A = this chain, B = another copy of it.
């Protein structure tokens, strides 16, 4: 499987544009925990995930984090190349959540093609509106949902991503995903344990009653 089969609108590019993209390409392998892009760095380029998992988050002055979206196989990340659009006025950090293989498309090459190609520009629009929808969903969660429901939703999502009910994850990590504090998450998880929804042990959280967790989330 090569780049051409991963890039979603490859066939809508002219042969010349295809060549420009291929020439601008770099392939990277990064290990879990690597920060691939941070808001203050230069325009890293567009990321296309071959395998693995990335997390995009924002960071407060005090170092608190909140996850705004995740990227899986075949997902493309625009905001690591925010220089391609004047109006993008915010900064995200992108980090590998698992060992990840990815391609980096040079920002200026993509920008040049986007300016002349309606299909590429329209695809970029779809990409952006999809991330926009993620962020609006997140904002609604933060505004209208209490933390117990957000923790429940997070555990259920993790279990679905991992395909397992036994999650290797620290309370600190959950706090970073949800923009909360470790102590607050620990207290919440202990409450979940008392209610029989999870079982806590060092470094792992096991979901013992998916149905009850789902009910809490849906309430």
Q: Within 8 Å of chain B (Cβ to Cβ): is A121? A: yes
Q: Assess the A136–B87 pair: CB atoms within 8 A.
A: no
Q: Assess the A142–B139 pair: CB atoms within 8 A.
A: yes
Q: Assess the B128–A90 pair: CB atoms within 8 A.
A: no
Q: Within 8 Å of chain B (Cβ to Cβ): is A118? A: yes
Which of B66, B88, B118, B136 contacts A118, CB < 8 Å?
A: B118
Q: Within 8 Å of chain B (Cβ to Cβ): is A19? A: no
**Stretch with Cβ within 8 A of B (4 or more), from A20-28, A109-117, A169-177, A191-199:** A109-117
The size bracket of the interface on A is: 35 or more
| Copies of this protein, total | 2
Smallest beta-carbon distance A112→chain B, Å: 11
Given A117-B118, A126-B86, A143-B66: A132 touches B133 (CB 8 Å cut-off): no
Q: Within 8 Å of chain B (Cβ to Cβ): is A122? A: yes
**Chain B contacts for A132, CB-based, 8 A:** 87-88, 90, 128, 131-132, 135
User: Could you give, for residues 72-109 of chain A, a 1 whenever the CB lies within 8 Å of some chain B CB and a 0 otherwise?
Assistant: 00000000000001111110000000000000000000
Q: Assess the B144–A61 pair: CB atoms within 8 A.
A: yes
Q: Within 8 Å of chain B (Cβ to Cβ): is A130? A: yes
Q: Assess the B140–A139 pair: CB atoms within 8 A.
A: no
Q: Assess the A126–B87 pair: CB atoms within 8 A.
A: yes
Q: Assess the A143–B90 pair: CB atoms within 8 A.
A: no
Smallest beta-carbon distance A134→chain B, Å: 9
Which of B62, B66, B68, B85 contacts A125, CB < 8 Å?
A: B85
Which of B61, B130, B139 contacts A87, CB < 8 Å?
A: B130
